[in-house]
């Protein structure tokens, strides 16, 4: 808190402003906060919709890392990367596409909160809004999918569908008629 106060006083003095003690947190942008409402957070809703569609189109369980391409973490001084070492007795970590997409969405959405443009509630609610939009896009795609062009893996006994895990952890399937059902 003392550092925030000292910085604010120095900045105010440099700008010929009153130097009364202030503990206001600095704004990341020199022009200040935007004049638009904080909710919905556009970046959060957009990335959530995009990630939801990608999770529906691709296999969420696809492994990104394996023994030949291990997970990496920053080294102790932050100048490089080290191979992630699990705790003794724990299996090696495998990064999966769905989890990495979820982390990407969270990082993009939370970045605007860190910048002081949004609040955490904007992040969480806008992620749900974006997910809802993404599900709607997948429903539309499922209903318009040309069943006559089915691949050999899609048969009458196993009709076309999208399957994905929501941000809440619930796994759903979007059927060819656009119906969303829990798996």
pLDDT digits 0-9 by tens, 50-108: 999 999 999 999 998 876 788 888 999 989 999 888 889 988 788 899 999 999 999 99
Beta carbons of 130 and 101 less than 8 angstroms apart: no
Q: pLDDT tens, 15-56?
A: 787 777 777 766 666 666 667 777 888 889 999 999 999 999
For residues 156 and 164, the model is more confident at: 164
Which among 101, 96, 112, 97 is positioned nearest to 48, based on CA atoms?
101
Neighbours of 139 (CB within 10 A): 18
Q: 36 an active-site residue? A: yes
Q: 99 an active-site residue? A: no
pTM for the structure as a whole: 0.74
Q: How far is CA 131 from the centre of its chain?
A: 10
Burial of 18 (0-12, 13-18, 19+ CB in 10 A): exposed
Provide the pLDDT for residue 47.
96
């Amino acid at each position: 808190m003392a550092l925030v106060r000292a910085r604010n006083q120095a900045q105010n003095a440099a700008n010929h402003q009153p130097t009364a003690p202030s503990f206001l947190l600095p704004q990341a942008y020199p022009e200040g906060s935007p004049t638009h409402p904080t909710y919905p957070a556009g970046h959060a809703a957009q990335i959530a919709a995009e990630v939801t569609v990608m999770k529906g189109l691709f296999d969420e369980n696809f492994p990104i890392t394996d023994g030949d391409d291990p997970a990496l973490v920053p080294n102790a001084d932050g100048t490089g990367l080290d191979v992630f070492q699990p705790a003794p007795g724990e299996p090696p970590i495998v990064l999966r596409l769905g989890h990495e997409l979820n982390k990407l969405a969270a990082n993009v959405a939370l970045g605007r909160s860190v910048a002081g443009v949004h609040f955490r509630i904007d992040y969480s609610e806008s992620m749900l809004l974006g997910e809802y939009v993404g599900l709607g896009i997948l429903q539309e795609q499922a209903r318009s999918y040309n069943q006559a062009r089915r691949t050999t893996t899609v048969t009458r006994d196993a009709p076309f569908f999208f399957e994905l895990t929501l941000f809440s952890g619930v796994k759903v399937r979007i059927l060819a008629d656009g119906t969303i059902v829990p798996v």
